[in-house]
Amino acid sequence: MTDHPRIVAAGDSAVVLEFEERIDPDVNARAVQVAEAIQAAGLPGVRDVVPTYRSVAVYFDPLRTEFDALARCLEGEAAAARPESAAAGAPVRIPVCYGGTFGPDLGAVAAFAGLGEADVVRLHKQPTYRVFMMGFVPGFTYLGPVNPRIAAPRRPTPRVRVPAGSVGIAGLQTGMYPSETPGGWQLVGRTPVRTFDLSRRDPFLLKAGDAVQFYEVAPADWDRLAGSVAHRPVEPRVPSPVSCRSHMHIIRPGLQTTIQDGGRWGWQSRGVSPAGPMDPCAHRLANALVGNNREAATLEIALRGPEVEFDHEQIVAVAGAVFSIEVDGRAQPMNSPFTVPSGSRLRFGERLLGSRAYLAVAGGIVCAPTLGSRATHLVSAMGGLDGRALAAGDRLPLGDPDVRPGLAPRPPAAARGLSAMPAEGRPTRVRVLPGPQRDYFAADALDTLQSAPYAVHADSDRMGFRLEGPALRHARGADIISDATPLGVLQVPASGQPVLLMADRQTTGGYPKLATVIAADIGLAGQLAPGDRIAFEVCTLREALAALIAQERAMMAIEAAARR
């Protein structure tokens, strides 16, 4: 087994240490052990460390650490880490209803294998599987290896919705979907077991290194088993009470308004997406204008805005997508703080440009955090207010401001430059860096990517944008061993049509990734809506960092001005 990993860049904010490209318990044990060593080292700028089947993804802040220096540190940690055994303990037994509406792809897997459906079930439930990693979404367990006879590849085009509890096969991998999500695995059955439950003190049923064995049950046993099997003794989680004197009242919620902060970093190794704002720059700008720290929670407002009321006077600011906004019928400016008197209503009217705006209130929104963050992750119903979009009648607690900013308008040119919007009627151009799986594609794939714009499909959301345009050809097939998925990566299934992964993205995925949007352009991509067009331009790492540094300098100037 190779002890010295290959270092691969994944955009300008992530690096991947790759071991041998195979599903093997010893390879996986090595990856998990190296990830633990890197996590324990506390390297400057590192935000998340994610072990996978055969690699370790390290997410970092490129403004705090330089790529080459970080790569050298990671190589050193990998060389110093001690190999560990891949042995697992007694298996956790999981009941599965196979076939029919529970496993709609069982017949397809049987046809692939040239076997009867009963033989596929027998071969699937026979092994004791290792939990190689957690990923995709919270509680999704990647298990293996699957018997090669039934190791059917993923579907050419992923399903938009896979039911919670579904048990799927993707090559030598099998796994359980803990919640309703998109997914491309072949579904052979479903389990009533909840592998992720936020009502427990430890929400996760399984962890990397555990052993799992499936056993078959009849559909009639579903209700009896639901919630009563394969649960380790756990303590219920007791939410911390939130006490404050001021509130924001939701009169009309808009199309999709969610609470977002800087993101839920540090949990991707357990399958928990960072979430956070689709346009991080606009989110941070709105906070800066009212004197908040950059991580404070705001409202992310998508496409159609809300109407809200405050029970105390508040200083607020709106940045990002351009809306007409008014307080009690009086027009208010974008990208500048203004006062909303007690009992007054702030209303969003016509959307003029972009798709997502951010409403910041001095002091921030202070609902109870989940796993250290207030960011709403809709797919797993986590964070924000009950993990959902806001509804009429909701009452949001507000914090007391650290400082009271002055109300002189900020320079509009500087604010507009920090919150760039798509060009009306023209494709939005964003820059990308090649990789991390460039070698899985035809030699002309990057040229094809840049040859014409792609349209954002209607089946797009905070997880990712499905794009329609020139097909990207694979050179080594469209399946890979599931690996980490950075923000802004272009994942390409067998159809050749890329999917741009965004804020609520899955933490791992099994399609090759051709390129990654640079950090400075993520916010611009986040302002796209269905029907908009996006054009890609390959740039260098030097150019990506120069753009990010320029953006950071402008933001720091506005933050400093707001606190003077």
Characterize the bridge pairing of strands 211-216 and 92-98.
parallel
Number of helices (H), then strands (E), in the chain = 10, 31
pLDDT, position 154: 87
The parent domain of residue 439 ranges over 428-549
Q: What percent of the chain has pLDDT over 90?
A: 69
Give the pLDDT band of residue 227 (cuts 50, 70, 90): low
pLDDT digits (tens, 9 = 90+) for 514-548: 999 999 999 999 999 999 999 999 999 999 999 99
Look at the chain and report how many structural domains it folds into: 4
Whether 557 is covered by a domain: the verdict is no
pTM metric for this prediction: 0.88
Give the model's confidence band at 559: pLDDT under 50 very low, under 70 low, under 90 confident, else very high: confident
Same domain for 281 and 320, yes or no, is: yes
Pair 143, 119 in one domain: yes
Q: Does residue 266 sit in the same domain as residue 402?
A: yes
Please tell me the predicted confidence (pLDDT) of residue 415. 54
Distance between CA atoms of 274 and 57, rounded to whole angstroms? 14
Note whether residue 231 is domain-resident. no
| 145 shares a domain with 278 | no
Q: Give Cβ neighbours of residue 327 (< 8 Å, ≥ 6 apart).
A: 338, 340, 341, 344, 345, 346, 347
Q: Give mean pLDDT, residues 395-405.
A: 80
Q: What is the pLDDT of residue 208?
A: 82
Domain end residue (candidates: 400, 418, 436): 418
Question: Is there a single domain that holds both residue 208 and residue 105?
Answer: yes
Looking at the fold, whether 406 and 274 belong to one and the same domain comes out as: yes
Q: What is the mean pLDDT of residues 41-70?
A: 92
Are 178 and 194 spatial neighbours (Cβ–Cβ below 8 Å)?
A: yes
Angular region, 540: left φ>0, alpha ψ -120 to 50, beta rest: beta
pLDDT in tens, 257-275: 999 999 999 999 999 999 9
Q: Across all residues in the chain, what is the average pLDDT?
A: 90
Same domain, 62 and 127: no
478 falls in which pLDDT band (50, 70, 90)? confident
Asked whether residue 409 falls in the same domain as residue 436, the answer is: no
Give mean pLDDT, residues 305-318. Answer: 96
Q: Which two tokens stand for residue 39?
A: 């996590």
pLDDT score for 231 = 45
User: Is residue 177 over pLDDT 90?
Assistant: yes
453 part of a folded domain = yes
316, β-bridge pairs = 338, 361
* Upstream peptide bond of 158 is cis (omega within 30 degrees of 0): no
Q: Work out the pLDDT band at 232, boundaries 50, 70, 90.
A: very low
Would you say residue 232 lies in a domain?
A: no
pLDDT at 404: 58
Q: Domain end: 46, 80, 114, which one?
A: 80
Q: Which residue has the higher pLDDT, 96 or 181?
A: 96
Same domain, 68 and 154: no
Are 366 and 310 in a shared domain?
Answer: yes
**Over 60: is that where the pLDDT of 230 sits?**
no
495 domain-assigned: yes
Q: Report the CATH number that the domain containing residue 483 is assigned in CATH.
A: 2.40.100.10
Enclosing H/E stretch for 121: helix 117-125
Within-domain flag for 86: no
Whether 562 maps to a domain, the answer reads no
The stretches of 9-89 forming alpha helices (DSSP H) are: 25-41, 67-80
With a pLDDT cut of 70, the percent of the chain lying above it is 92
- CATH classification of the domain holding 15: 3.30.1360.40
Final residue in a domain of this structure, among 80, 110, 134: 80
* Cα pseudo-dihedral 288, 294, 297, 303, rounded to 10: 70
Q: Are residues 200 and 331 in the same domain?
A: no
Distance CA 386, CA 249 (A): 16
In a domain, 554, yes or no: no
Task: Indicate whether 133 and 261 sit together in one domain.
Answer: no
